[in-house]
Chain A
Amino acid sequence: METDQPKDRPWVMRTYSGHSTAQASNALYRLNLSKGQTGLSVAFDLPTQTGYDSDHALARGEVGKVGVPICHIGDMATLFTDIPLGQMNTSMTINGTAAWLLALYIAAAERQGVEPQALQGTTQNDIVKEYLSRGTYIFPPEPSLRLISDVITYTVKNVPKWNPVNVCSYHLQEAGATPVQEVAYALCTASAVLDTVRASGRLDAAEFAAAVGRLSFFVNSGVRFIEEVCKLRAFGQLWDELTRERYDVENPKLRRFRYGVQVNSLGLTEAQPENNIPRIVLEALGVTLSKDARCRAMQLPAWNEALGLPRPWDQQWSLRIQQILAFETDLLEYGDIFEGSTVVEGKTNAIKNAARAEVERVSDMGGVISALGYIKEQLVASHTERVRNITAGDHVVVGVNTFTESADSPLYRGDSSAILKVDEAAEREQVARLEAFRATRTQAEVDTALSGLHAAVLSGENIMPASIRCALAGVTTGEWTQTLRDIFGEFRAPTGIGGAAAARTVNGEAAQALEELRARVRKSAATLGRPLKVLIGKPGLDGHSNGAEQIAVWCRDAGMEVVYEGIRLSSEQIVTSVRDEGVHLVGLSILSGSHLRLVPEVLTGLRAEGLSDIPVVVGGIIPEDDAENLRQAGVARVYTPKDFEMLRILSDMVEVAEAAV
């Protein structure tokens, strides 16, 4: 039976990708487009995201790891070779340096002969969730909001089809947010952005309404897909309310809640990784089932993400899920199938009411920036609760804490054959290309462009025109960012761990296990001479701190004294802290894939300070071959996502510390 309605248009299908070099990423993009992908989603490497050139000391080992390195207009042009920018819809996951990467994109398009008016796509450009969860912020809140506002006012007038900001609730869920927290804090962030734009006085009423209409969201969808349907309906209704009441937008089209989605990675497991495929499918349903709350663009993670970097075939499998959903099923043939459902309506209203109350609370604290510390503490607390529930078995994860028996998998043998190996020569090539590029520039043009940028930053005028001139003159990512760093300074975000409540909700067996662990920790003081003191460190540019924060909170709850300093520490800083603090054990958390460089650096530093007797344990997404490598280099233990039993990890850490005496 066919329905009468015309079929709805499918969402834009993307895969978050980019690695090694602009050239290699370009080849991957063209391959993905040939398979029916309809948009691009660019992953940048950490040096690009944090504003360093590929040859900067802090970039060592990180170049091309979690995304593509883009240092200058030459890299940007290479990335889009034979991809007509006038017809492409490009989403860029870029925040601290969003204004700069957009300037490079506009300049690269100009070289392709494409006008800015024709460009379509998105810069993520949401600094608040960087402070709260993702960690690639650079500048303090005030200048960061100014940069965001500059991008918005510029694009509304000059790149009208661009989404200048993608407010992300995505990373809040990854950091442990409940649906209510996700909705509430994203709305608070959007308000902070729009308030800044309005206060800038650069837009008239019509332009401001257009800017509201261009604001889009980037959300997350977990496996509890019915709740996710309700969350997104609530999100849309609250956004409509907010844009009407707070920002006086009359045109309902400009009040529409437009969002893209990457479904949840937090719930993907390393154990029995093939189970992640049904999880991903169900998560995709959460953002597509309800026509009124359907996503505009989707990207799905790969089944083997918890093991390491996915290969092209793994990404293809995820794209096929989208295509089957859109083209084989009858999903797009109906109106909203939840219309009239009192169950969905009831849940939607419950989320709306709770989110409104939380928005109010943040507003009473003076808005999202003033409330950063509070919000971060709420997120860490929610995440701690989640980990406790998994450990206690209250939260079922099939193949992990329930139904763990498994036949041998033909897809994954526990080695590194089922993931992508990064080309270690890529960094050298990238640095060589950067040096060659610098040699082709006219230094006088670069200097003029940079002093123009400097003047624009100081005078408060919009930063975009000066940035585009820099892009065309051959200024590099590091040079652009350093100019701003010199003026704005740098920021350190709150860690949120102080506010996480002690483990009071644990009961039954789990409570007993925790008590036993505490006794064990207390007893270790006799062997160690004083209470067990550990340092949890995050070396390198990787800002994904959720894991490190959880370990820190759990160590505290187990009775340890825990030194935690936040993200982006150099190996030297970590070694200094280990020495000065007199800790018994060092735990390093690295999720960017640069563990083979960063960990040995710390080990060497410890040896140089005469601290080689302090044991080091490492946690992260670390393939078994690499883990063996690290153990050979002197690492006492390597923990990966399959070690989900927190109490076992902690008890193991006590053992390691005692054995070192």
Chain B
Amino acid sequence: MTQPSPSTVSALVDFNRQAIARALNLLEDRRPNRRAHALTLLDTLSTLPASAQVIGLTGPPGVGKSSLISRLIEPQVQAGRRVAIIAVDPSSTVSGGALLGDRGRMQLSAEVYARSYAARDRLGGLSREAFSAVFLLRHCCDVILVETVGVGQSETDITALADTTVLVVQPFSGDVLQFIKAGVMEIPDILAVNKADNQALAQKALSDTQAALALAQRPASPASEAWDSPVLAVSAATTLNLDALNRALSAHWQHLHATAGLEKKRAAQHLEWGIGEIRHEVGQRGLAALGGVAGVRTAWKRQPAPWSAVRKLSALLERVQYRT
């Protein structure tokens, strides 16, 4: 297998955006030889630090996720931090095409790397390509913001990708709060009530959201790992409370480090991603041939990096199929 050149790797970790764009093109490429290159590149990178905080923003369409992102990155860029943005838009079920318009709604300074993806046939609010893009970008920059499609209760992908998940709602986002109460939606790490420039409406929205959180079922976790999700009333338009939101984001990041939650979270995310990839490539029956999820988990642990695990399992599968 061709190894990526040391200059490519160093360009990537130096946040060279030309190199990043080329690498992300490669990760999307489905031609078999490119696919092999892509996995090798990810393997090589996985031996290096992945120090970027991945922040996922989810929430219904029109709540202002894009505007919020362009506001949140301002202080980050000013502080000299390297920022990447991944935005996902829905694909048309009729034509398969997609309009990728998030870029236009963000005020992007020249220092930021931003890329849009079409969700294609995936329903969980992200696209397959967004996963590998984020896995790569974690080695290249300081903070990654991921914006989901924003379709409501099916936005399950983001917790499988983000270190910190922010749910953005606006006054009268009753539906989303119902999903939380009913346990359909996982509890986000931070809740932001946007468009809070209207005091009265914002107060009402805040108390609705807090009530929904209080009713929601929390998964049992050791006290040391417990995190109380803060609820913040913010406004991208007037920048109200955006500094508080940025503080909450760093607080959660520190919390993940202090509790060793990050490693656990990412290991679980990798495994889930790998199972998803295998299921995508070979289907449910292929997965069964590998011993199901448990079988994959065992094989997975023996591999040095998640990407070689996928490759190894695919090879294994070919042998299994050959024998039967």
Contact = CB atoms under 8 A, between A and B. Distances in A.
B97 A557 contact: yes
14 contacts: A497-B99, A498-B99, A502-B95, A503-B95, A530-B29, A531-B118, A556-B98, A558-B95, A560-B97, A561-B97, A564-B100, A564-B104, A577-B103, A581-B21
Contacts of B24: 582
A562 B28 CA distance: 16
Contacts of B94: 502-504, 557
Given A503-B95, A529-B34, A552-B99, 5 more contacts: A492-B107, A557-B97, A561-B98, A564-B104, A581-B100
Nearest to A502: B94
Contact of B116 (A504, A563, A579): A563
| Chain A interface residue number, banded | 35 or more
B120 interface: yes
A26 interface: no
B114 A580 contact: yes
Interface size class of B (residues with CB under 8 A): 20 to 34
Contacts, number: 97
Interface in A439-485: none
B285 interface: no
A495 B104 CA distance: 9
B101 A497 contact: yes
B25 interface: yes
B120 A531 contact: yes
A555 B18 CA distance: 26
Interface string A573-606: 0001101111000000000000000000000000
A55 interface: no
Q: Which residue, of A497, A525, A561, A609, has the highest number of chain B Cβ atoms within 10 A? A: A561
A572 B115 CA distance: 16
Interface in A499-542: 502-504, 518, 521-522, 525, 529-531
Contacts of A560: 97
Nearest to A515: B95
B29 A565 contact: no
A518 B98 contact: no
A610 B24 CA distance: 16
B101 A495 contact: yes
A582 B98 CA distance: 15
A557 B91 CA distance: 10
A552 B95 CA distance: 13
A167 B97 CA distance: 37
By CB atoms of chain A within 10 A, which of B22, B95, B116 has the most?
B95
Interface in B13-64: 17-18, 21-22, 24-25, 28-31, 34
A51 interface: no
B79 interface: no
Nearest to B113: A580
A562 B98 contact: yes
B207 interface: no
Interface of B: 17-18, 21-22, 24-25, 28-31, 34, 91-92, 94-101, 103-105, 107, 110, 113-116, 118, 120
A222 interface: no
B98 A579 contact: no
A529 B31 contact: yes
A615 interface: no
B287 to A, nearest CB: 25
Contacts of A518: 95-96
A553 interface: yes
Contacts of A557: 92, 94-95, 97
A592 B21 CA distance: 32
A609 B103 CA distance: 20
Contacts of A498: 99, 101
A502 B95 CA distance: 8
B17 A579 contact: yes
Nearest to B94: A502
A497 B99 CA distance: 8
A559 interface: yes
A504 B97 CA distance: 14
B323 to A, nearest CB: 31
A566 B108 CA distance: 14
A531 B34 CA distance: 15
Contact of A502 (B30, B92, B104, B113): B92
B198 to A, nearest CB: 12
Contacts of A553: 99
Contacts of A580: 17, 21, 113-115
Given A529-B31, A579-B18, A559 B101 contact: no
A557 B28 CA distance: 22
Interface in A276-325: none
B214 to A, nearest CB: 32
Contacts of B21: 579-582
Nearest to A584: B25
Given A492-B104, A495-B101, A609-B18, A561 B29 contact: no
Contacts of A552: 99
Contact of B97 (A492, A555, A565): A555
Contacts of A530: 25, 28-30
Contacts of B114: 580
A562 B25 contact: no
A579 B113 CA distance: 10
Contacts of B29: 529-530
A289 B197 CA distance: 51
Rank and list the top 7 A-B pairs by shortest CB-CB distance, nearest first. A565-B104, A529-B29, A556-B97, A582-B25, A502-B94, A530-B28, A559-B96
Given A576-B110, A579-B21, A565 B96 contact: no
Given A529-B30, A530-B30, A561 B118 contact: yes
Contacts of B96: 518, 521-522, 531, 559
A518 B96 CA distance: 9
A563 B103 CA distance: 8
A492 B105 contact: yes
A328 to B, nearest CB: 51
A451 to B, nearest CB: 26
A565 B101 contact: yes
Interface string A35-50: 0000000000000000
Interface string A606-640: 00011000000000000000000000000000000
Contacts of A563: 100-101, 103, 116
A558 B97 contact: yes
B68 to A, nearest CB: 15
A326 B115 CA distance: 58
A559 B100 contact: no
Contacts of A503: 94-95
A562 B31 contact: no
A609 B17 CA distance: 10
A572 B110 contact: yes
Given A529-B31, A582-B115, A562 B17 contact: no
A562 B104 CA distance: 12
Nearest to A556: B97
A361 B274 CA distance: 49
Contacts of B118: 531, 561
B7 to A, nearest CB: 14
